[in-house]
Amino acid sequence: MMLQLDGTGPLYQQIYRAFREEILTRALRPGERVPSTRALAELLKVSRTSAVSAYEQLLAEGYLEAHVGAAGTVVASALPPDSLFSRSLKLPGPRPHTFRRADARLSVAGERILRAARRGTDHWDLRPPHIRYDFRSCRPAFDDLPYALWCRLLGSRARHASQRDLMHGPPEGRWELREAIGSRLRRLRGVDASAERIVIVNGAQQALDLISRVLLNPGDRVLIEEPHYTGARVAFISAGAELITAAVDNDAIRVPKATTRKHAFRLAYVTPSHQFPTGVVLPIARRLELLHWASRVGAFVVEDDYDSEYRYDGPPLQALAGLDREGRVIYVGTFSKILFPALRLGYLVLPESLVKPIVTAKALGDAGTATLEQLAIADFISQGHFDRHLRRTNASNAARRSALVGAVCKEFAECAEVCGANAGLHVLVWLKGKNGGRIADVSGKAQMAGVGLYAVDSFYIKPPRRTGVVLGYAPLREREIREGIRRLAVALEVTPDPDGSFAVFNSRNGHKKTHQESLRAY
């Protein structure tokens, strides 16, 4: 018998792998006797300890069998047929059948999930390629993050963690964080958010998934804005819902008329404080109209308040949940835009009727959200760091926003119209190509120039007839914003008018202003 040692790792492991190869390739047949450990050690010029250790592992894994008396140690007789071994090894011969996607036979829900993800198109990739001037939305101002403070708070919680802190936390989240969130929402957003009605989740996407699993049956109707956040669309379609779109105008979603019970809606999804992606704000009259509609048709309303803290024209507006008197609004918030997305922490403020079902569904899906991070954020809020950080980032983001608007004015002039610049971390810019037409492959041309952005088409079910791009500016420096917009204009072959006229869309009253008037208003 010739054993070939591969020279990698301890000798006993090399001997073990060599024997295993001989057995799997049938060079050693079932029932065949193998050398004693003493003889093997002499054959390979190794210590007997190495030979004994290798045999012990082979015996433990069932490749060898030890018999009392003359039979000694033999290759196990109860081994699978040769064909099964050959499939697991890279042996010469005909290529075996490969298990393909079609063989998986997914469930109906699994197929829906794949179809929904494909319809999410380009922006569903949460890890886009690195691009020098990246205007992709939904990213915070990383340079403004208080890293040292965050590390100190997290480190303190880790150093003083009790056994309870190191065990699985409650599925609804730690009380300390829920109480801190509730206090802040009552103070700044007008939401009667008791800690008992708050559930901590692993980001807003888990919140949407939980809502879909608990409330939606296949075929249920969901009212969704057009355009809208693609992550919500994917979650609802994956649950088998039928999406009914409502157009967004200067005052956000157009509330439909109440329908009969036969055609009733189960859910409505809205972003009232800063509509995504247009940036317009839902005024009080339509907020009340939406709540009245939900009451008439018996629907719940999901209020995604994803970046409401960033306001540049006055204090944050009262949340839709603060106007709810019937327990119909489900409030979704996240820390991804205030701190960083990798934190994976968000929260739900639920009507009392949904607390137990949502908590139970979350408990089935995970063993609780990370505890130490929850406690660190609770300290971040209760010690006043959250509000101070928000004041600083509001000021720096306002400067970046002005730089973006100014750069678009300079490079695009009358060929662009900005929408939703009064709040949030992105703006929507409608662009005109040559002769006022659409611009083909705007994302591809931008990427070739080192500029990353989203075309607005992916946020529509039926794409609009004009070219729009969503520009997120928070992670960029002002000089990077100006250079990125310059490169974008060159890539799209835009030639501005000499007078520098430029349209900025005011989401509050629907009027257009010149760039100079807009900057004064900001």
pLDDT value at residue 116: 73
Pairing state between β 267-270 and 503-505? unpaired
Return the SS3 of 233: helix
Total number of residues shown for the chain: 522
Task: For residue 272, give both structure tokens.
Answer: 């009232």
Task: Report the C-alpha dihedral over residues 45, 49, 53, 56, rounded to 10 degrees.
Answer: 110
On whether the 11-88 domain is CATH 3.20.20.150, my answer is no
- CB neighbour list of residue 62: distance below 8 Å, 6 or more residues apart: 76, 78
Task: For residue 392, give both structure tokens.
Answer: 């600083």
pLDDT value at residue 507: 40
Q: How far apart are CA 486 and CA 506, in angstroms?
A: 24
Q: How far is CA 381 from the centre of its chain?
A: 23
Q: How far apart are CA 57 and CA 3, in angstroms?
A: 17
Instruction: Confirm if 119 and 243 have CB atoms less than 8 A apart.
Output: no
Q: Which helix (H) or strand (E) holds 447?
A: helix 442-448
Return the SS3 of 225: strand
For residue 85, which phi and psi values (nearest 5 degrees)?
Answer: -65, -45
Q: How far apart are CA 448 and CA 32, in angstroms?
A: 65
Q: How far is CA 147 from the centre of its chain?
A: 22
On whether the 147-387 domain is CATH 3.40.50.300, my answer is no
Q: How far apart are CA 23 and CA 349, in angstroms?
A: 60
pLDDT value at residue 83: 47
What radius of gyration, in Å, describes the C-alpha atoms of the chain?
31
Is the bond into 227 cis (omega within 30 degrees of 0)? yes
* pTM of the predicted structure, to 2 decimals: 0.78
Pairing state between β 426-431 and 416-419? antiparallel
CATH superfamily of 391-521: Aspartate Aminotransferase, domain 1 (3.90.1150.10)
Q: Which helix (H) or strand (E) holds 54?
A: helix 48-60
| DSSP state string for 124-175 | G-SSPPP-SEE--SS---GGG--HHHHHHHHHHHHHT--HHHHSPPPTT--H
For residue 507, which phi and psi values (nearest 5 degrees)?
Answer: -70, -10
Tens-of-pLDDT digits for all 522 residues of the chain? Answer: 678 888 888 999 999 999 988 888 888 888 899 999 999 999 888 999 999 999 999 998 889 998 877 778 999 887 766 545 544 555 444 555 555 656 667 888 888 877 777 665 545 555 566 788 999 887 888 888 999 999 999 999 999 988 888 888 899 999 999 999 999 999 888 898 999 999 999 999 999 999 999 999 999 999 999 999 999 999 999 999 999 999 999 889 999 987 656 568 999 999 999 999 999 999 999 999 999 999 999 999 999 998 888 888 767 678 999 999 999 999 999 998 888 888 899 999 999 999 999 999 999 988 888 999 999 999 999 999 999 999 999 999 999 999 999 999 999 988 899 988 788 899 999 998 777 778 888 988 998 999 988 899 989 998 898 999 999 999 999 999 999 999 999 998 876 555 444 444 444 444 444 444 443 333
Return the SS3 of 460: coil
Task: For residue 118, give both structure tokens.
Answer: 């494909």
| Residue 252 CB neighbour total at 10 angstroms | 26
For residue 297, which phi and psi values (nearest 5 degrees)?
Answer: -95, -5
| Residue 257 CB neighbour total at 10 angstroms | 7
| Residue 217 CB neighbour total at 10 angstroms | 9
Domain boundary assignment for the chain: 11-88, 147-387, 391-521
